[in-house]
Structure 1
């Protein structure tokens, strides 16, 4: 089962092993690491099991791997460790050719007894050799040793009736739980981390993937449906490393914003074969996202976009009132798991090669990119009604600073702040190189205000334990940096919105900001601004990162912006000239002039990277 960040649960599948008439073992789940909601709670939380068409697509991939596997005896054991209503296991049965279906044993685990009962109905009498459904926690059955080569596959003593180590599975098909650390709770997250050797931000599906790896025999087939986040975000690096080192990847499908689920999730399909010591991956990569059909482009009519995701079709497919752009290529994965997994093909490789040949470096060579401040008590530190407070409790103006938020974001220049714009109580002196809080005795009104909220602020134990004053902001950055030239931009935006920030403004945590490194030429700030706001950077982003949400919104995080390319400075003369004119027009609120200069600047950026205008438009 897949559980979204908000505890919205997603589909699951059932897996095999046991006697036919499907009698679930009503075992206690008291040792469960994670107790999933009952049926009523699932409905209340918008739970959605794997849609039949998507289940069929994933099952077809798994069955193809089983059929192609050498030494197939005709008997195969299939597992779904979080089987939900059994849709994925049924899809395996439906996809299996006659010679394979009669030899299938299907095993499904789930902590939700209602789901197991639903799976029993789904799988009853489907014509396979055996079905075994158990209301237990799959993860509680496993321990993984610190020494990876000797990792064990062990069911605990309380689970002796479950399959033993010699009964590893031939295939696993699953849509495992996806629950992030903040939902799991620190105690559960720490237990999972200790048991499964997880580090960093712990997601429940990480533990499932590790346990599934142990449960899968060498040469066994994995069909995994999960969030596509692991492909491109920094916290997905451990998942990328695990998959690359334990599997031969066969196919990756980024299903993006296809809306195959009713819930707002962006899924991905991974099809792989258990194989240790893989030195290089030769994996097919398919990407599909919603789009508007270009006027002159041909399209294929489909009932479901899944019909054309076999790797043989690239282009536009339309059906059900939606249009999708389908791209095919192969996985581009470096030995460094911190680098996102992305797609490459002949056209992409040529394009990137041209960009690299004309680039002088990246944004990270001349600037430091950071997320904005994190107060961890916004209701205390950030307000738009400071002037409404009694004068005796209204913090001194010296400590109140205008705040950049994503609501104010606009290209080139920060627009004039509205009268009700938010300001932040920033208890540091802006001229200070060090993060030293002010002495509240020097600011009696701020002191009175903060004392009213002392209990709330002191409850942030992590602030106190780190040796900080109780009234400090958790992530304030170096105060003096707010007085220096900088660029800011929102975390999430369909198109890039990079803009200059005036002295004294502070950037909130829903935005990022970039300041030049000490030895960087001041000219780079305007060059960065021109590149970041160009259509070129949209193409670059989509080629290398492609971390898109619904409605085509991109995530502009530091890990991506750091890798934005810079043209050679000697080729940036015209860019700088136009930038001066554009910033003047933007400052003077001349929209027509700004629009004309933007088009000219866009052409110059493409040309600076060796790409002719016709490629850009």
Structure 2
């Protein structure tokens, strides 16, 4: 059977898509399946027989692509797991339709149970170790899994932080991959850069020798909002004889120098590539790199980028994180109760405890926009240096209002189970810090959007913020933070250091990134100019004058780090 015939086949493939999506499954695009298969086979040692396994077989597309990439399918055994019986039947039908000579053992059960308990009751006979694993594990996050299941996975697979089920699949593969076997796995690229997956990065480094990482970034290979990466690895050897190759592909506005049919084809090229979808992509190639530990953010290391970062660090006086802790805003878990645009219009009341609230709706560079400010009923205070819930009986209007919503608020079981008051905001942060001047910034945006708040506002959970925690003697330091944070320099630093964007060229300005942003010496002549100019922009009301000042300030930031400004 020809490859084209197989890959064009859509026999019943999408008949139960809705059901599978509810289980966290996302169907693998055919070209990506083919890519992963080819990469596994390139590393696979020649054997008389091969055992290939898919721990979440779904519709069988990954296995079909693997089989179609082989020179011969004689002496091939396919092992597949799935918790969905329809998937088992569908994948079996599709595989046998094209490869009736292949031995198939498809198991209706949980692959993770097999990893924990061995064969348990799932298998009729003892399964061999797998020569190859090809997988696109499901994505199911902590809040969907539930606390009990998350704790179970954490205990059995050594996971920490915000557990996603795909992480357990990755660790579980070490239980059944043969000594010289090869695994190719499609995962969310979030594991490369988020703070909560640091322990996973460490485990992957300890368990496996990773041949390749391909970060497919914002290429929209999946219908769902999954930004995929592909890992190719084998079991850990005492002395690996290779370094991990790392490639990434992200959309760009730069002019193309090459052409490829799809982003999957483009990632093997270099520079800027135009694809048949009409979009240009920048491909970066190098080796896997991290700062001091495998727990740190994983990124592409190439000589040009590393030299540029070294030049930045030579001129870095401190990082943002060394100035102040990067904090996320408050989380009420009942915004409809606690937050209003106009309390008098919406409730007919003005509770004593309402405070101005910063949300992304008022985001603007340097200074908060003139958009309507929301207000929050804030239920915490500081007493003898400690944060505590307010005495609700002292605030009769607030109490009366909250009592009207008591059923909903008490329905937040996690609040009650944590021995908190029924009317509390779930994540209130420190009431003491709201009175301080602070830098506030948006999480997701195309360009950095940082501004100064000096109105003692509370920050909502859709924004991050920082105060000058550690260098109080530098009273103008937040202005320097503001100047650097809103610069093209920081965009460039972000893209080289973290190399991570969402769709539509948007960046994520979250704590683990922003805390690493560099600052020049605040006492240098250039920094003093930057501070003065940032203050001037904050107070400026003329749009043209402000734009000119921002351009001048941007040039000063590059000068402060003694680096030439690239052409954007």
TM-score by length of 2: 0.91
Aligned length: 552
Give 1:382 shift. Answer: 0.8
2: CA distance between counterparts of 1:593 and 1:307?
46
Q: Could you tell me which of 71, 78, 87 is aligned with 1:97?
A: 71
Counterpart check, 1:140 vs 2:146: no
Quote the Cα distance in structure 2 between the aligned partners of 1:107 and 1:278.
31
Distance 1:106 1:568, change over 3 A: same
Shift of 1:103: 3.0
Aligned to 2:30: 52
Shift of residue 284, structure 1, vs aligned partner: 0.7
RMSD: 2.4
The partner residue of 1:509 within 461, 464, 469 is 461
Does the residue aligned with 2:248 lie in a helix, a strand or coil? strand
Distance 1:411 1:280 in 2: 49
Match of 1:41 in 2: 19
Q: Could you tell me which of 97, 106, 122 is aligned with 1:159?
A: 122
- Residue 210 of structure 2 corresponds to 249
Q: Kindly state the Cα deviation for residue 546 of structure 1 after the two structures are TM-superposed.
A: 2.6
Label 1:47 to 1:249 Cα distance change in 2 as closer, same or farther (>3 A).
closer
- CA–CA distance in 2 between the matches of 1:479 and 1:551? 36
Q: Is the 8 A contact 1:484 1:515 kept in 2?
A: yes
**Structure 1 stretch 224-233 or stretch 562-571: which is displaced more?**
562-571
Aligned pair 1:423/2:352, yes or no?
A: no
1:77-107 CA-partner distances (Å, limit 9, x unpaired): 1100111111111111111134xx3232221
The correspondence for 1:404, drawn from 355, 358, 367, is 358
Deviating more after overlay: 110-119 vs 84-93: 110-119
CA contact (8 A) 1:83 1:110 kept: yes
- Is 1:382 the counterpart of 2:331? The answer is no
- 2:267 alignment counterpart: 309
Mapped to 1, the partners of 2:68 and 2:522 lie a distance apart of: 60
What is the CA deviation profile of residues 125-149 of structure 1, one whole-angstrom value per residue up to 9, with x for unaligned ones? 42654222222221222327xxxxx
C-alpha distance in structure 1 between counterparts of 2:415 and 2:396, whole Å? 22
Describe the SS at the equivalent of 1:262.
coil
**Cα offset, 1:46, TM superposition:** 10
CA distance in 1, matches of 2:104, 2:27: 20
Following the alignment from structure 2 to structure 1, what is the Cα–Cα distance between the partners of residues 350 and 57? 57
- Take 1:133 and 1:255, find their aligned partners in 2: how far apart are those partners? 30
- Structure 2 vs 1, CA of residues 518 and 272 (structure 1 numbering), >3 Å: closer, same or farther? closer
After superposition, the Cα gap between the structure-2 partners of 1:446 and 1:43, relative to the gap in structure 1 and judged at 3 Å, is: closer
Per the normalisation by structure 1, the TM-score is 0.84
Cα separation, 1, equivalents of 2:239 and 2:164: 25
1:348 — aligned with what?
A: 305
Which 10-residue stretch deviates more, 130-139 or 43-52? 43-52
Whole-Å Cα distance in 2 between the matches of residues 179 and 588 of structure 1?
48
Worse overlay, 361-370 or 580-589: 580-589
Per-residue deviation at 1:345? 0.5
CA–CA separation in structure 1 for the residues paired with 2:22 and 2:419: 43
What is the SS of the residue equivalent to 2:386? coil
Output the CA distance in 2 between the equivalents of 1:39 and 1:305: 24
Indicate the larger mover: 332-341 or 234-243. Answer: 332-341
Matched with 2:488 is 535
Tell whether 2:141 aligns with 1:185: no
| CA distance in structure 2 between the partners assigned to 1:516 and 1:403 by the alignment | 20
SS in 1 for 2:196: helix
Instruction: State whether structure 2 residue 60 is matched by structure 1 residue 86.
Output: yes
- Range with greater deviation from structure 2 (183-192 or 323-332): 183-192
* Residue aligning to 2:90: 118
- The answer as to 2:192 corresponding to 1:231 is yes
Q: 2:81 pairs with 76, 100, 109, which one?
A: 109
Q: For the residues of structure 2 that align with 1:56 and 1:205, how far apart are their CA atoms?
A: 21
Q: CA separation in 1, counterparts of 2:385 and 2:252?
A: 47
| Structure 1 unpaired stretches of 5+ | 1-36, 145-153
